[in-house]
Structure 1
Amino acid sequence: MNRALIIQLTRFGDLVQTKRLVLTLQNRNFEVHICVDRSLKDLATILYPQANIHAVVAHGTGIKGRGFDSALPVNLSVFTTFKNLAFSEVYNLNFSPMNYAVASLFDPDTVKGHRMVNGQPMKSPWFDLAFRLAAERRNNINLVDYWAALSPEMIPAEKVNPLADPKGGGIGVVLAGRETRRSLPYEVFAPLILAARSVNKCKKIFLLGSNAEREAGRKLQAKFPASVSADTTNLAGRTDWQGLVGVVSGLDMVMTPDTGTMHLAAHLGVPVLGFFLSSAWCTETGPYGTGHTIIQADTDCSPCVESQPCYCNLKCLAPFKEPGAARFIATRKPEHLVSGLSVFESACDFLGTKFIIKAGNDVTGERRERIRQFIGSHLGILDIGRHGPFPDLAEKFYREKDWITLNRGVILP
């Protein structure tokens, strides 16, 4: 049996979003190994029970309470294990120094994604193209599909996650994401939660997050009427990975910004009602699969770059403060949606997960669909003779060194 290693050393959400690549490799009869930061080892084991999980110390200064030197024997042991395993394919999904260090253990010819060649960082041709495509972020593809397309024979998108369906256990509320301005302040979030609860059969609410969000959960709960507060449980900081999976798996809905818990809900087939603003854009990092809803802030400056300051006074937050936002959540009627917001629902197509406009505006929708066909033809999923040609897109996104015309008429780098 062939072996494949996936190096995924980033965050909770990224680990979940590696799922299509994992399933594709397993479908190709690979024995799949995943290298993760040790903080995510237990989660990786839950998500991918048929994979072999290898945990390294990738972040911080070592094992807590034991200093930097404590990381060395842990990592050396994992690297020695890798040396004794013959990986025919290695997928390095990110470009952190640690990712490159692990990828450098292997012959560059076996590494896909980010790799080191003669001491120089390089990207696989698909990643080179995908970086150029990311210049049009509103028309970008889902991160799940970006990683999965490193492998041939991707499994169909609809086989990745279950169809989203309410489970009967109430509403989960993710209190905050990693970036503050991508999350709704508790005073803005509260009326939206109450609107969703008013039309949900089960009235229980579960507040989800890390221990750092526990106080925010208390403040949010204080905004609820006493009867609603009595039905609310603040679980922030009180669940391990298994406990979080147990809670989320039984919910009717998860209300959330762009977070790892959002991707976990999609993994479990629990409907997501997502709130995307600032640098978050649903076509890039929205929940994977069919049956999820994103309320997207749609301003002339969005999506922005999260590493840069906001010079627009967070105007993308303003529409969520309007009473009409809560009214729309309760009724789901397009005429109730306020200006500055658009509503998208997730679906699956030939390429992966896409988002379809249901209310508001989608000024780049036609171009996004054309770019999806261009990518599908590039990857050999679609027949370029039927869907192309794409002279304008090829001129913009291809470079001279990329052009190789295969005899079946598909252009690949």
Structure 2
Amino acid sequence: MKRALVVQLTRFGDLVQTKRLILTLTRRGFEVHLCVDRSLKDLAEIIYPDCVVHALIAHGTGVNDNGISSTFTVNYKIFQVLENINFDQIYNLNFSSMNYALSSLFDSKKVVGHKMINGQTVKDPWFDLAFRFATERRSNINIVDYWAALSPEMIPASDVNPVAIPGNGGIGVVMAGRESRRSLPFDVFAPLILAARSANKNKKIFLLGGSSEKKAGEKLLSKLPPSIIKDTVNLIGKTDWKELVESVSNLDLLMTPDTGTMHLAAHLGTPVLGFFLSSAWCSETGPYGKGHTVIQADFDCSPCVESQPCYNDLKCLGPFNNSNLARFIVTRKAEHLPHGLSVFESECDFLGTNYVLKAGQDIGSKRRDRIRQFIGCHLGILDLGEHGPFPELAEKFYKEKDWVTGSRLVC
């Protein structure tokens, strides 16, 4: 049997977003092995039951209760195991030092993505090109499709996640992700939750998140009326991976910023109402598949770079604090949507998941559609004769080395 190794050493959401690549490799007849950080091993085995999961210590110190680090011992053993498996292909998705070290175990001709050749770090031509697409983040593709396109014969986007359908189990609320600027403060979030509950027949509310969000959850509860608190279950910091999957799978709706739990909901077919602001942009990291809604902050500085300070006093948060947004969530009428926000719904197209405007404005839609067609032709999904030529895009995104090596479409 052919074997493929997928190395995904980043976080919760990225693990879930590797799904299209993994399903593509499985359909191509590979036995898929998945290398993850050990904190995600249990989740990986739940999400990808047909994969062989290998767990490294990629994050944290690996120090046990006695103050002794086990990082070297654990990782050395895993490296030995992986080196002794005859993999036909290795998909190395991240550009960390650990990823590069791991890639050096294998014949570089078998490694796709990021690798080391003669001590030099090298990106796959597709990754190199995709980094250039990222200079136009409003027109960028979903990261699920970015990783999946490393493999030929990608499965259709519609085959990745179920169409989102309410599960009749209440409303889930995720307080925050890793980046605080992407999240809604508890006093801004509370009225939106009440509005969604009103629109969903006063269903129960479930607060979800890790232990680091406990205080935020308590503050949120303080903003809810007593009659609502009695119908609210606080699960923040109280669920393991299995319990989180069970909780999210039955929800009518998950309300969340750009978080790993959002991607888990999409994986399970649970409808998402996402709130995207600051550095989060739905075309890049929105919930994957059909049937999700994103309320996107859209300003001239959006999306920003999360590693850089905000010099605009986080003005993209302002519209979420407008009382009309709660009215919009209840009525879904465009006239109630505050200025500075746009509403998108997720669909599947020839390339992957795309977001279609439902309210507000989308001044970049034509540019985004054109770039998607360009990428589709580059990947051989669309016919260049029908959709091309793309002289202005080829001139911008292709470099001389692409013309020399042939790693580009003919324009």
**Which sits farther off after the overlay, 327-336 or 158-167?**
327-336
**One-letter identity of the residue aligned with 1:45:** E
CA distance in 1, matches of 2:223, 2:69: 47
CA distance in 2, matches of 1:148, 1:398: 21
CA distance 1:89–1:202, change in 2 (3 Å): farther
| Counterpart secondary structure, 2:49 | coil
Q: How does 1:140-219 map to 2 (within 5 A)?
A: 140-201=140-201, 203-219=203-219
**One-letter identity of the residue aligned with 1:329:** I
1:7 equivalent in alignment to 2:7: yes
**One-letter identity of the residue aligned with 1:116:** M
CA distance in 1, matches of 2:145, 2:286: 12
CA distance in 1, matches of 2:216, 2:277: 19
Is residue 402–residue 412 contact of structure 1 (8 Å, CA) maintained in 2?
no
**One-letter identity of the residue aligned with 2:248:** V
**One-letter identity of the residue aligned with 1:353:** T
Q: 1:201 offset after TM fit, Å?
A: 2.7
Aligned to 1:55: 55
Q: 1:218 offset after TM fit, Å?
A: 1.2
Structure 1 alignment gaps of length 5 or more? none
Q: 1:68 offset after TM fit, Å?
A: 5.9
CA distance in 1, matches of 2:79, 2:68: 17
CA distance in 2, matches of 1:122, 1:157: 28
**One-letter identity of the residue aligned with 1:246:** E
Q: 1:403 offset after TM fit, Å?
A: 2.0
Q: 1:411 offset after TM fit, Å?
A: 1.1
Is residue 199–residue 329 contact of structure 2 (8 Å, CA) maintained in 1?
no
**One-letter identity of the residue aligned with 1:158:** S
| Counterpart secondary structure, 1:128 | helix
**One-letter identity of the residue aligned with 2:409:** I
Aligned to 1:257: 257
Q: 1:412 offset after TM fit, Å?
A: 7.1
Aligned to 2:126: 126
Q: 1:66 offset after TM fit, Å?
A: 4.9
| Counterpart secondary structure, 1:60 | coil
Aligned to 1:382: 382
Structure 2 alignment gaps of length 5 or more? none
Is residue 3–residue 86 contact of structure 1 (8 Å, CA) maintained in 2?
yes
**One-letter identity of the residue aligned with 2:15:** L
CA distance in 1, matches of 2:48, 2:287: 18
Is residue 171–residue 205 contact of structure 2 (8 Å, CA) maintained in 1?
yes
Aligned to 1:411: 409
CA distance in 1, matches of 2:410, 2:240: 44
Q: 1:69 offset after TM fit, Å?
A: 3.6
Is residue 9–residue 58 contact of structure 1 (8 Å, CA) maintained in 2?
yes
Aligned to 2:271: 271
| Counterpart secondary structure, 1:343 | strand
**CA deviation digits over 1:355-376, x for unaligned, max 9?**
0011101011000000000000
Aligned to 1:137: 137
Aligned to 2:395: 395
**One-letter identity of the residue aligned with 1:266:** A
**One-letter identity of the residue aligned with 2:12:** F
**One-letter identity of the residue aligned with 2:382:** L
Aligned to 1:221: 221
Q: 1:107 offset after TM fit, Å?
A: 1.1
**One-letter identity of the residue aligned with 1:79:** F
Q: 1:64 offset after TM fit, Å?
A: 3.6
TM-score normalised to the size of structure 2? 0.98
CA distance 1:23–1:412, change in 2 (3 Å): farther
CA distance in 2, matches of 1:31, 1:123: 25
Is residue 379–residue 412 contact of structure 1 (8 Å, CA) maintained in 2?
no
| Counterpart secondary structure, 2:70 | helix
CA distance in 2, matches of 1:63, 1:376: 46
**One-letter identity of the residue aligned with 1:376:** G
CA distance 1:309–1:3, change in 2 (3 Å): same
Is residue 169–residue 252 contact of structure 1 (8 Å, CA) maintained in 2?
yes
CA distance 1:66–1:159, change in 2 (3 Å): farther
CA distance in 2, matches of 1:187, 1:201: 23
Aligned to 1:71: 71
**CA deviation digits over 1:309-348, x for unaligned, max 9?**
0000000000000011111111111111010000000000
CA distance 1:51–1:202, change in 2 (3 Å): farther
Q: 1:63 offset after TM fit, Å?
A: 4.0
**One-letter identity of the residue aligned with 1:78:** I
Q: 1:212 offset after TM fit, Å?
A: 1.2
Is residue 61–residue 68 contact of structure 1 (8 Å, CA) maintained in 2?
no
**Which sits farther off after the overlay, 275-284 or 82-91?**
82-91
Percent identity, aligned pairs only?
69
CA distance in 2, matches of 1:412, 1:50: 39
CA distance in 2, matches of 1:367, 1:146: 18
| Counterpart secondary structure, 2:315 | coil
CA distance in 2, matches of 1:56, 1:221: 38
| Counterpart secondary structure, 1:403 | helix
| Counterpart secondary structure, 2:87 | coil
Aligned to 2:39: 39
Q: 1:67 offset after TM fit, Å?
A: 4.4
Is residue 328–residue 336 contact of structure 1 (8 Å, CA) maintained in 2?
yes
CA distance in 2, matches of 1:82, 1:98: 14
Aligned to 2:100: 100
Q: 1:296 offset after TM fit, Å?
A: 0.2
Aligned to 2:334: 334
Q: 1:180 offset after TM fit, Å?
A: 0.6
Is residue 404–residue 411 contact of structure 1 (8 Å, CA) maintained in 2?
no
| Counterpart secondary structure, 1:354 | strand
CA distance 1:67–1:378, change in 2 (3 Å): farther
**CA deviation digits over 1:228-274, x for unaligned, max 9?**
11100110000000000000000000000000000000000000000
Poorly superposed stretches of 4+, deviation over 4 Å: none
| Counterpart secondary structure, 1:145 | helix
Q: How many residues align?
A: 411
Aligned to 2:21: 21
CA distance in 1, matches of 2:67, 2:80: 22
Aligned to 1:369: 369
